[in-house]
Structure 1
Amino acid sequence: FLLGAIQGPLRIVTKIGNQVWYPVTKMLICALEKGIVRLRNRGKISDEHKDHDILKNIVRNICNVEVSIDHCKQALSEGKKMSHICDHLDRSTRKIIYRENYLFGSQTNLQMSASAAKCREEYSKRQKRKWVSEGQDPFQDFAFTLQPKMLEAWPRMKCSSCGKTAKVFCPRCLVPLNPPAPGLPEAEKQTTNAEELEKKLEFRLPEVKLPFNVDILLHPQENRKKATALHLCVLAPKQCRVLKFPEDLPNYDPKTTVLLFPDEKSSLLSDQKIDVSNLKTLLVVESTWQKANGVARHPKLQHIPTVRIEEKEGTFWRHQELGKGFLSTLEATYYFLIDHFKQDKQSGYDRRYDDLMVIYTHMHRRITRLKFSGDGKKAKKDNPPASEESRTSMPKHWIVDSS
């Protein structure tokens, strides 16, 4: 009667005739312990049936394993503790623990589960994408007007347009949410340069001037909070806009417009097939890679020449299986601006567009720090912020007394 609720996460290992056997994993023990408690609370199990007897019968029927009563009692107790441990771990680490085999009567079950550091190390080996550590910051040479670390202290502000609260900028209205400047002391307010001092105290997002307009083709199913191209509208608001695809798509002049998309017809600016002096509009696609082809193949864009950038190693944290050379929309636009500057000015890049990456750098450093510290979104939501001591050692609620 519990098989229907737990057979989803189980893996089939043996099939003899019509009989299917499942492995005894920690996922199975935790699921059975929770399922028995849930059914007993709902009155589906009478008081005359003992929990350990139910567990013994289920393990015999679906796993083909005979277990003693004492070991069943121990398994129920350890299943409850393992569930408590996994509730405080991130999803990836929890998966590794659940896949481990459960050995009835063994004293290593909880010790292996409580070793969160071991699980994280194993998970990092399985990751296909290499994440840089804070000591290998890819943005350490950028010349920012406002340092990204300053954004850490910015509070959540209410947007004056939509009334929603957000941090740094409003993803709906695409306006910066600058914090109020601290007031000057009364003695300094009477001075002649009081206005200049107040401006110096203000922390505002920089505004970047671009050599051409940028139209962002936003896929209707794309999450605006995850769209990095929207940073362009916040940091270069006079020359960037978001177009809802496909209803807002106008007719572009192919002589003054290019589409940034790496297809088989695209060319590099260094190939000199495109006159950069006539470029007035750059089109960029904001969507997942699976849906980007559908946007780029729209009939209104077939006559627009496509351009690409030289292969770069991306730093975007969003998972994708296509490799390191597939960048986020903001990264691709930033590198295209650098190529355009070098081609137009015939000189080296002077860091004038680095401020376009300030919000991205802030988010990248924050997510990288959470990844290396092991604080997942669920763990951070359910628990208070960890102290510096707990970041370097195992939290106390992960240490379980196996006795």
Structure 2
Amino acid sequence: MTDSSGLEETDPFAKLKLASFLPLEKLEGRSKCSACEASRKFFCYTCYLPVDKLIGRIPAVEIPFQLDVIKHPLEVDGKSTAVHAAVLAPKQVQLYTYPCIPEYKDPSKVLLVYPSESAKTITEILDQEERAKTGLDSDSEEATPPACKKTKKDPKQTAIPFERIIFIDSTWSQSKKIFNDERLRDLPCVILAEQKTFFWRSQDKEDNYLATIEAIYYFLVELFNLTSDLQYAGQYDNLMYFFVYMYRMVQKQKKNYIKIHKKKQKKTATHEAGVS
């Protein structure tokens, strides 16, 4: 069985609710960025703008807080998936190139997504905030139900206890330098539930090292599921719009290469059998 793209249903993104890829598929050639006039295919990865022919034709995503991405200066702009978030959610996403880091006046309202030694899960952070709000310590037997385990009497969405989320966009070794910056190292850290990456660029890490846009997406979905009684209905799926399109293009290219290679092998084998 196949989806609308013609790929097998084993496609890991088959269940995502994504906008049509038709605008991307119909786009021919490259065009100039309206801001810097550089030649681009779908969007400008330095100005974070879609090309003119895609304005109003690609999805726009709303995020419930400000999201900052601190990018290592050696990260190639054209290869950074963090740019996808800035293009698709321009109102809430800001990209900064290290050592440029915004000033966070109230660190208690900021959360850094980074697997530090003191990092907590989203569940632990929400529970901690709930206990602090009610004035109960973690050992109290009279504690109210944690934020992520609401009762049926409370159908409303739990208030998210932070205003800004920070992601680091770099290789693992580069990220340590950014994390140790005095402007970030004392911020509370959160670690994501383990997910498998489907990033098509080769890396010398295990497959649970996510591309930045994957980490952003999984963070938002996990947070939604922990703070809302409503069933997740794909509100953030379009953050993966460019990522999924490119993933599928790479998979098609791989399949085509394998087909061509097999045909060449078969032709060679037939020719050798005829000669002998």
TM interval, short-chain normalised = 0.7 to 0.9
| Distance (whole Å) between structure 1 residues aligned to residue 265 and residue 22 of structure 2 | 27
Give, as a single letter, the amino acid of the residue that structure 2 aligns with 1:245. Y
Asked whether the equivalents of residues 66 and 164 of structure 2 are also in contact (C-alpha less than 8 Å), the reply is yes
For 1:158 and 1:328, locate their aligned partners in 2 and report how far apart those are by CA, in whole Å: 27
1:219-249 deviation per Cα after TM superposition (whole angstroms, max 9, x unaligned): 0000011111111110000111111111344
Q: Give a deviation string over 1:92-129, Cα, whole Å, max 9, x none.
A: xxxxxxxxxxxxxxxxxxxxxxxxxxxxxxxxxxxxxx
Higher helix share: 1
Q: Percent of pairs identical after alignment?
A: 29
What does residue range 149-164 of structure 1 map to in structure 2 within 5 Å?
A: 150-155=23-28, 156-164=30-38
Q: Distance in 1 between matches of 2:176 and 2:94?
A: 21
* Structure 1 match to 2:128: 273
Greater RCO (CA < 8 Å, at least 6 residues apart): 2
Q: Tell me if 1:256 matches 2:139.
A: no
Gaps of 5+ in 1: 1-132, 181-201, 376-388
Distance in 2 separating the partners of 1:253 and 1:245:
21
Structure 1 pair 394–307 and aligned structure 2 pair: CA distance change class (3 A): same
From the superposition, tell whether residues 247 and 398 of structure 1 become closer, same or farther in structure 2 (CA, over 3 Å).
Answer: farther
Within-5 A mapping of 1:3-402: 134-135=7-8, 136-144=10-18, 146-148=19-21, 150-155=23-28, 156-179=30-53, 204-271=57-124, 272-274=127-129, 277-374=160-257, 393-394=263-264
Question: How far is 1:290 from its partner?
Answer: 2.0
Structure 2's unaligned 5+ residue stretches are 1-5, 131-158
Q: CA deviation at 1:298?
A: 1.1
Residues in 2 aligned to 1:225 and 1:317: alpha-carbon distance in whole angstroms: 14
* Superposition TM-score, scaled by structure 1 size: 0.54
What is the TM-score with the length of structure 2 in the denominator?
0.77
Highest Rg: 1 or 2? 1
8 Å Cα contact 2:114/2:189 also seen in 1: yes
- Which amino acid is the alignment partner of residue 214 of structure 2? E
Deviation string 1:190-235 (CA, Å, 9 cap, x unpaired) is: xxxxxxxxxxxx8611111100011010100000111111111100
State the 1:323 CA deviation. Answer: 1.0
For this pair of structures, how many residues does the alignment match? 236
Q: CA deviation at 1:393?
A: 2.8
In 1, Cα distance between equivalents of 2:204 and 2:170: 15
Contact 1:178/1:205 (CA < 8 Å) preserved in 2?
Answer: no
CA change 1:158–1:323 in 2 (3 A) is same
- CA spacing shift, 1:252–1:262, aligned 2, 3 Å: farther
Cα distance, 1:206–1:157 mapped onto 2, change above 3 Å? same
Partner residue of 2:133? none
How far residue 274 of structure 1 moved from its aligned partner, in angstroms, is 4.5
CA distance in 2, matches of 1:350, 1:134: 23
Q: 1:268 to 1:346 in 2, by over 3 A?
A: farther
